[in-house]
Chains A and B, each alone.
Chain A
Amino acid sequence: MCGIVGYNGFREANKVLIDCLKRLEYRGYDSAGIGVIGKKLQVFKEVGEISKLEEKIPSFEGDIGIGHTRWATHGAVTKENAHPQLSSNKKIALIHNGIIENFQKLKEDLEKKGVKFASQTDSEVIVQLINQNYTGNLRDAVINTIKQLKGSYAIVAACKEEPDILVGARNESPLVVGVGDNENFIASDISALLKYTNRVKYLDDGEICVLSKKDIKIFNKNTKEVTKEENIITWELKDAEKSGFPHFMLKEIFEQPDTINKALLGRVSEIDRSIRLHEKIEDLLNYDIKSIRILACGTSYYSGLVGKYLIEQLTDIPVIVELASEYRYFGTKSEDSLIIGVTQSGETADTLAALREAKNAGCRTLVITNVMGSTATRISDAYILTQSGPEIGVAATKTFTSQILILLLIAFKLASLKNKLGADELSKYIIHLKELPRKVREVLDNSDKILNIALELKNVDSVFFIGRGINYPLSLEGALKLKEISYIHAEGFAAGELKHGPFALLTQVTPVITIVTKDNTYDKMIANIGEVKARGPEVIAIAEENDSEIEKHADFVIRFPGQSNPLSCIPIIVILQLLAYHVANLRECSIDKPRNLAKSVTVE
């Protein structure tokens, strides 16, 4: 999952590419490189983040070029393995995102023909192949090459003998074309290009595009030209900037009152007591659904788990949440089950593959995603956008809360369609929904209090998160947030499971964070806190503001506003996010770019 960008226009390619790469850095930051065609084809690469590349790069002349930021898959993090990759005769340069599955065989074949390889990457195989196939037309060489490739790729190639075009192609890796005036762009995602254009054309799998300064031609596998509509992106550049906040993550946490409103906007009516979703979605929900399967990875998987509790509670329809990477190979596919894919980027390779499997088996598919026009929206029967704006921090925050809200809306809609939820009860929930932005604001306003608790966690080696019911997936998410940005070992458990094993890991210096809501598990949670306390560790409880009992049991209490109800999960998540953020910040971790991680995981 690397970030790639190509530019062909009138500006200094160097500067445009670096600018765009900075916005793609969330996709990987092991090494980066740029290739520009001016009087000749020049390439410069550097190990490390884009800022390092920017510092050292010489000024290349030229208004056409390609750039790459890498997240290593094949081959170590070295200058040789950084992109652009060159053909042995230095004629063709290529950037690649994805994994070529048959690269070993292709490489051996090429080596037999005497081609010498300079790197360990699968990407170099592609560029060498293109060079082999090159007979004076870059487009045809690319088309002939991709016919030999197996696996996922988004590639952009430049050839010094055709210094006025770039050629891009994709299969199962994201690639979009940005349309400008007398300049055109191609990149892994549109947020990289927002500074220059908000007009975009989406490429589909198997398509090839030829980018000149004046126009864009898109072809299918059979070299037949296809016409694509132009889409206007309403995201603004400001959404992709830090604007005074020390980290994107903190900015995105603070955006949540707003993003919650955006997720609900036009979908919830308090006066009419109704949930309005797009017709296509209501059609999907209207079928006789016997079960629901939620497919997702990482944080999205946890939002699916939260969704499971909500949907089952409200509709009595069984929900199975599966890791997309497992489901695609091992899951059962039945036609009377509704598949809900959850993916922030809409490009998560595992989730896409699982969705394709399900669709091929005849399942109805619905996708929850943040990115309009992403692959997921195009391969599913219907999709709902979370409308959160671009999320740059690698640790998901605002998109997580919005995903849960959308799952909630689906639960409400389903429940009322299946007559499981009366209008009056629905109206009560709608009022709770509309109060969410205010409750989240109150949590944010108490950020300093959470910082004080974070001081307690700053120097520990291990933290447990426990909860029951819907608070169990919240514990998992709390632990994930903490470990991914602060590098403290953290585990989430169902509170009842502690005594079945994890207790063995509990020491006096393992703080336990308990999520305690006033529901039918309250007494059990208090008992669990007692069990934990008896073994000596500190207990930090997250509890509702009017709970005076909890203080007698826990060492520290963080309050969420209002009374406990199923929607309390949203303010609780924000507390967990702030806690993780403050701990990581106190430990001076690289919050927006945790080690070894990247945001959109477009490899499998």
Chain B
Amino acid sequence: MKAVILAAGEGRRLRPFTETIPKVMLPVANKPVLEYVIDAVKNNGINEIVIVVGYKKEVIMEHFKNYKGAKITYVVQEKQLGTGHALLHAKSHIKDTFIILSGDNIIDNTSISKLIKDDSKYSILIKEHPNPSKYGAVFIEREKLREIVEKPREEVGKFISTGIYKLSKNIFDIIEELANEGIYDLSSTIQSIVDDGEKINTIVADLWRDIVYPWDLIHLNETMINRTPSIFGGTIEKGVTIKGDVSVGKDTTIYSGCYIVGPVIIGKGCEIGPNVCIFPSTTIGNNSVIQPFSQVGNTVIMNDSRIGSCSVIKNSVIGRGCIIENNFSSIDGSSTIEIEGEFKKLEKIGSMIGEDCNIESNVIVKPGKIIGRKCNISSLKIIDDNIPSNSKVM
């Protein structure tokens, strides 16, 4: 059996983190989301994978190449019209029954295993969700799919579609038919098979997680960090205290006097300390530096970043390549955040800083603020508003 993974989307609501990388490549516990998906597929013995790429495809292809011996074929969807349209690009590579997954949702091995073992011609993985109106809401009758409605207006049911299906290759004909009518999404295709009397088995997934907003990166990191196996490379100097599960990558140095309480993941080639405190559910990407006397907790720091001395960062996301000077403070507290016209109230949220920002010394960011990509903030500034990408705060 082959697997098709859709990975062409951009993830606009996750900006600024998706300005130069596609949503599927966002790191959760130092591993791109798509890697979780590929692992789940591979661990079920599927070795031939077709990945539909589009937005910033080079980032995906460069990272995975031919991942862990899997035979990965990349097909390019130039315009992202819909999930059905995306799947159509894989048509020539599919000869029989296959599974389709979306590359931007974390999924576990067992769910995929249940899907594959299911003996029906068509099956769908579904999941309970507190807020089905944002997804494809799913209605079930005797464990068979009755109806699938994208973003229903009325509050209905409790199950949503995970976008993961087992399908027969006949599906391509139906997608093509609908595409001629200008319908490009996969849910409509599935609905039309149901309407034609086809039985589709529903299977409830165990672990399935979506990332929609930037702060989801913090929450998801917290969930997944415990599931990540510890590795221990690098150099730990004398006088470092480590409690709980702490993963330290190759060529990383933890300098004397650091106090680290797991679960914590520190990537390859990092330098931490001396005297840095790192508290639970923190992930630090590869080649990052945290200078003396700083404190970090429940935070995601991506690759190639530098945090200056005496900084305090909690409940925050720091994009890759950020250079933050001394005495940076990210205040955490409650905040109401507006994203694409929606208002979200969050408790205990710090700041979210896009990639490649330069922040000079003694800058304070108020709770829940989003700083865009490649911003320059000069010293002694207090940031109490969102800052668009490529801005200079003087």
A residues adjacent to B (C-beta < 8 A)? 237-239, 241, 243-245, 250-251, 254-255, 258, 261, 264-266, 269-271, 431, 434-435, 437-438, 441-442, 444-445, 447
B259-274 interface bits toward A, Cβ cutoff 8 Å, 1 = contact, 0 = none: 0000000001101011
The size bracket of the interface on B is 35 or more
Q: List 7 A-B contacts (CB under 8 A).
A: A238-B67, A241-B66, A243-B74, A271-B253, A431-B306, A434-B304, A441-B20
Partner-binding segment picked from B38-46, B283-291, B329-337: B283-291
Contact B58–A266 (Cβ < 8 Å):
no
Bound Cα distance from A447 to B250, whole angstroms: 31
Contact A266–B251 (Cβ < 8 Å):
yes
Which A residues are CB-close (under 8 A) to B85?
none
Bound Cα distance from A445 to B59, whole angstroms: 10
Which B residues are CB-close (under 8 A) to A441?
20, 321
Bound Cα distance from A441 to B320, whole angstroms: 11
Contact A434–B306 (Cβ < 8 Å):
yes
Contact B320–A244 (Cβ < 8 Å):
no
The answer, yes or no, to whether B53 is at the interface (CB within 8 Å) is yes
Bound Cα distance from A37 to B213, whole angstroms: 63
A239-B65, A261-B286, A271-B255 known; A244 vs B269 contact (CB < 8 Å): no
Q: Tell me which of B65, B271, B273 contacts A243 (CB under 8 A).
A: B65
Contact A270–B271 (Cβ < 8 Å):
yes
Bound Cα distance from A22 to B62, whole angstroms: 21
Q: Which residue of chain A is the closest to B289 with respect to CB atoms?
A: A270
Contact A434–B289 (Cβ < 8 Å):
yes
Q: Which residue of chain A is the closest to B56 with respect to CB atoms?
A: A445
Bound Cα distance from A435 to B69, whole angstroms: 32
A212 to chain B, nearest CB (A): 29
A243-B65, A442-B356 known; A435 vs B323 contact (CB < 8 Å): yes
B343 to chain A, nearest CB (A): 32
The answer, yes or no, to whether B61 is at the interface (CB within 8 Å) is yes
Q: Tell me which of A237, A238, A255, A266 contacts B269 (CB under 8 A).
A: A266
Contact A237–B66 (Cβ < 8 Å):
yes
Determine the main DSSP class of A at the interface with B.
helix
Pick from A269, A270, A438, A447 the residue with the most CB of B within 10 Å. Answer: A438
Pick from B62, B273, B287 the residue with the most CB of A within 10 Å. Answer: B62
The answer, yes or no, to whether B94 is at the interface (CB within 8 Å) is no
B318-349 interface bits toward A, Cβ cutoff 8 Å, 1 = contact, 0 = none: 00110100000000000000000000000000
Contact A265–B268 (Cβ < 8 Å):
yes
Q: Tell me which of A244, A254, A271 contacts B289 (CB under 8 A).
A: A271
A237-B66, A238-B67, A434-B304 known; A243 vs B61 contact (CB < 8 Å): yes
Q: Which residue of chain B is the closest to A271 with respect to CB atoms?
A: B271
The answer, yes or no, to whether B57 is at the interface (CB within 8 Å) is yes
A66 to chain B, nearest CB (A): 28
B281-313 interface bits toward A, Cβ cutoff 8 Å, 1 = contact, 0 = none: 000001101011000000000001010000000
Interface residues of B in 22-72 (CB under 8 A from A): 53, 57-58, 60-62, 64-67, 69, 72
B362 to chain A, nearest CB (A): 19
Contact B304–A243 (Cβ < 8 Å):
no
Query: Which 7 pairs of residues, A with B, have the shortest CB-CB distance?
Result: A244-B74, A438-B321, A244-B61, A238-B65, A243-B65, A238-B66, A266-B251
Q: Which residue of chain B is the closest to A445 with respect to CB atoms?
A: B20
Contact B57–A269 (Cβ < 8 Å):
no
Which B residues are CB-close (under 8 A) to A445?
20
Q: Which residue of chain B is the closest to A442 with respect to CB atoms?
A: B356
Pick from A244, A271, A442 the residue with the most CB of B within 10 Å. Answer: A244
Contact B291–A434 (Cβ < 8 Å):
no
Q: Tell me which of B58, B73, B251, B320 contacts A245 (CB under 8 A).
A: B58
Contact B304–A254 (Cβ < 8 Å):
no
Contact B61–A251 (Cβ < 8 Å):
yes
Q: Which residue of chain B is the closest to A447 with respect to CB atoms?
A: B58
B250 to chain A, nearest CB (A): 8
Contact B62–A255 (Cβ < 8 Å):
yes
B114 to chain A, nearest CB (A): 30
Bound Cα distance from A434 to B356, whole angstroms: 13
Bound Cα distance from A250 to B61, whole angstroms: 11
Which A residues are CB-close (under 8 A) to B67?
238
Q: Tell me which of A241, A245, A437 contacts B287 (CB under 8 A).
A: A437
Contact B289–A438 (Cβ < 8 Å):
no
Given contacts A258-B62, A270-B306, A434-B287, list 17 more A-B pairs with CB under 8 A. A237-B66, A239-B65, A243-B62, A243-B64, A243-B72, A243-B74, A244-B57, A244-B73, A245-B58, A251-B62, A261-B287, A261-B304, A271-B271, A271-B289, A271-B292, A434-B304, A442-B356
Pick from B255, B306, B320, B321 the residue with the most CB of A within 10 Å. Answer: B321
Bound Cα distance from A452 to B74, whole angstroms: 25
Contact B291–A245 (Cβ < 8 Å):
no
Q: Tell me which of B66, B269, B289, B321 contacts A265 (CB under 8 A).
A: B269
Which A residues are CB-close (under 8 A) to B53?
244
Which B residues are CB-close (under 8 A) to A241?
65-66
Q: Which residue of chain B is the closest to A437 with respect to CB atoms?
A: B304
Contact B286–A271 (Cβ < 8 Å):
no
B230-250 interface bits toward A, Cβ cutoff 8 Å, 1 = contact, 0 = none: 000000000000000000001
Q: Which residue of chain B is the closest to A243 with respect to CB atoms?
A: B65
Which B residues are CB-close (under 8 A) to A270?
271, 289, 306
Q: Which residue of chain B is the closest to A267 with respect to CB atoms?
A: B251
Which B residues are CB-close (under 8 A) to A434?
287, 289, 304, 306
B237 to chain A, nearest CB (A): 10
B174 to chain A, nearest CB (A): 28
Contact B251–A265 (Cβ < 8 Å):
yes
A512 to chain B, nearest CB (A): 30
A160 to chain B, nearest CB (A): 37
Contact B61–A438 (Cβ < 8 Å):
no
Pick from A261, A431, A434, A435 the residue with the most CB of B within 10 Å. Answer: A434
B321 to chain A, nearest CB (A): 4
A168 to chain B, nearest CB (A): 29
A597 to chain B, nearest CB (A): 25
Which B residues are CB-close (under 8 A) to A438?
304, 320-321, 355-356
Q: Tell me which of A237, A254, A442 contacts B58 (CB under 8 A).
A: A254
Bound Cα distance from A290 to B111, whole angstroms: 67
B74-118 interface bits toward A, Cβ cutoff 8 Å, 1 = contact, 0 = none: 100000000000000000000000000000000000000000000
Which B residues are CB-close (under 8 A) to A437?
287, 304, 321
A251-B61, A434-B304 known; A271 vs B273 contact (CB < 8 Å): yes
Q: Tell me which of B58, B66, B255, B269 contacts A261 (CB under 8 A).
A: B269
A241 to chain B, nearest CB (A): 5
Bound Cα distance from A237 to B355, whole angstroms: 31
Bound Cα distance from A286 to B286, whole angstroms: 32
Bound Cα distance from A237 to B273, whole angstroms: 37
Which A residues are CB-close (under 8 A) to B255?
271
Bound Cα distance from A431 to B321, whole angstroms: 12
Bound Cα distance from A447 to B20, whole angstroms: 12
Pick from A250, A261, A447 the residue with the most CB of B within 10 Å. Answer: A261
Bound Cα distance from A445 to B374, whole angstroms: 13
Which B residues are CB-close (under 8 A) to A239?
65
A569 to chain B, nearest CB (A): 19
Q: Which residue of chain A is the closest to B63 with respect to CB atoms?
A: A258
Bound Cα distance from A437 to B20, whole angstroms: 14
Bound Cα distance from A576 to B251, whole angstroms: 32
Which B residues are CB-close (under 8 A) to A444?
58
Contact A269–B61 (Cβ < 8 Å):
no
Bound Cα distance from A573 to B250, whole angstroms: 29
A275 to chain B, nearest CB (A): 14
Bound Cα distance from A438 to B61, whole angstroms: 18
Q: Which residue of chain B is the closest to A255 with respect to CB atoms?
A: B62
Bound Cα distance from A241 to B73, whole angstroms: 12
Q: Tell me which of A238, A244, A269 contacts B271 (CB under 8 A).
A: A269
B310 to chain A, nearest CB (A): 15
Which B residues are CB-close (under 8 A) to A254?
58, 61-62
Which B residues are CB-close (under 8 A) to A442?
356
Pick from B58, B253, B255, B323 the residue with the most CB of A within 10 Å. Answer: B58
Bound Cα distance from A250 to B251, whole angstroms: 28
